[in-house]
Amino acid sequence: MITLAIDIGGTKLAAALTDAQQQIIERRTLPTPASKTPAALREGLNTLIAPFIGRMQRVAVASTGIIRHGVLTALNPDNLGGLAQFPLTETITQLTGLPCLAVNDAQAAAWAEYKALPGGIRDMAFITVSTGVGGGIICNGKLVSGTQGLAGHIGHTLADPHGPLCGCGRTGCVEAIASGRGIAALATDDLSGMNAQEIYALSLNGHAQATRLIQQSARTIARLIADLKASYDCQYVVLGGSVGLASGYLPLVTSFLSQEPAAFHTTIIAAHYQHDAGLLGAALLSEGY
Ligand code: ADP
Ligand code: BMX
Ligand code: ZN
């Protein structure tokens, strides 16, 4: 069966046709509509999907935000605002005439990455450091999504009680410090107005403030990983997202984690499926749907 997998992120929309072996046949990417209204998202999805119409039998979506019964709600409206109660699966079904499954992006990615790990692993976490910081928890071999779909939203755990206000309404969340949007928002002086990709590139060239911001992000993710290890003894943590996969970021996180006591250490690896983990996880989860 051919599945159209869609990944809705705070920065980009991706779509890929996948075959029964979960191989990507064809893909495309568009920027997430700047005006994050329901009408703009619907139009963006329509444009994304149009070239694939008639070529698949079902649709599987991995999306940023809380997904409950196919409905998308932003936990952090700064990342995908104006979308209280966006009828995601209903919209896709209207656009394609096909059945659609929708799952949170990091939860979907966690499932794909868990399946790619060596056998015998029962407990792992996936962390995406991207527009936001998302998480997917696999506990005792099962994907944990929670009764309200909130499980794994570890980007909104406390990193610093005196830290910046997060778009979710809490203060000092991991996401407000470590995410791409957080890094950009904390930048001052000559870095003001730059995005995380630009700041990251400058950090690789030794720019002092850029280096501090990236190190602060990586240290915050390392502490989050220590907290996860303490919470449920996860054997692996898999890092994804464009910041998480950027050159040198994972070694930085590993080095900050090594400064924590040994009991809190765990193995950190880069996403096997790189930027496609969400797409492939949604396709996998839609099997038998
Ligand atoms: P999404 O959040 O839509 O899934 P990404 O995973 O690409 O998308 O994350 C987007 C964030 O990553 C943005 O803040 C962007 O500035 C940043 N980013 C993109 N490419 C890079 C890169 N090569 N190095 C560091 N940061 C990057
Ligand atoms: C936010 C939240 C999560 C998401 C995470 C990563 C929203 C809109 N999203 O914490 O549901 O998993 O960002 O999302 O509230 P991404 O866009 O960075 O991939
Ligand atoms: Zn938050």
Does 205 score more than 80 pLDDT? yes
Does the beta carbon of 130 sit less than 6 angstroms from any atom of ligand 1?
yes
Helices (H), the chain: 38-49, 88-96, 105-115, 174-178, 180-186, 196-204, 208-232, 249-257, 277-285
Q: How far apart are CA 181 and CA 204, in angstroms?
A: 19
ipTM score over 0.90, yes or no: yes
The one-letter amino acid at 260: E
Which one of the ligands is nearest to 173 CA? 3
Measured at the CA of 197, the angle between CA 253 and CA 209, to 5 degrees, comes to 70
Per-residue confidence band for 49, with pLDDT thresholds at 50, 70 and 90: very high
131 C-beta closer than 6 A to ligand 2? yes
Q: How confident is the model at residue 289 (pLDDT cuts 50, 70, 90)?
A: low
Cα–Cα dist 36/78, whole Å: 9
Residue whose Cα lies nearest atom 2 of ligand 1: it is 131
Distance CA 160, CA 155 (A): 12
Mean pLDDT score of the chain, rounded to an integer?
96
* Predicted TM-score (pTM) above 0.90: yes
Span from the CA of 54 to the centroid of ligand 2 (angstroms): 30
User: What's at 233, amino acid-wise?
Assistant: D
Q: Confidence band (pLDDT; 50, 70, 90) for 288?
A: low
pLDDT, residue 197, reads 98
Choice among 33-42, 107-116, 253-262 with the minimum mean pLDDT: 33-42
Q: What is the mean pLDDT of residues 137-155?
A: 97
pLDDT band at 37 (very low <50, low <70, confident <90, very high): confident
Alpha-carbon span 224 to 156, nearest angstrom? 10
Q: Confirm or reject: Cβ of 65 under 6 Å from ligand 2.
A: yes
Q: What is the mean pLDDT of residues 117-144?
A: 97
In 3D, which of 102, 152, 128, 153 has the Cα closest to residue 271? 128
Q: pLDDT (tens digit, 9 = 90+) per residue, 89-108?
A: 999 999 999 999 999 999 99
All structural domains of the chain: 3-107+276-288 (3.30.420.40), 118-271 (3.30.420.40)
Task: Establish whether residue 145 lines the binding site of ligand 2, counting it when its CB lies within 6 angstroms of any ligand atom.
Answer: no
Q: What is the pLDDT of residues 225-266, one digit of tens each?
A: 999 999 999 999 999 999 999 999 999 999 999 999 999 999
User: Which ligand sits closest to the CA of 7?
Assistant: 1
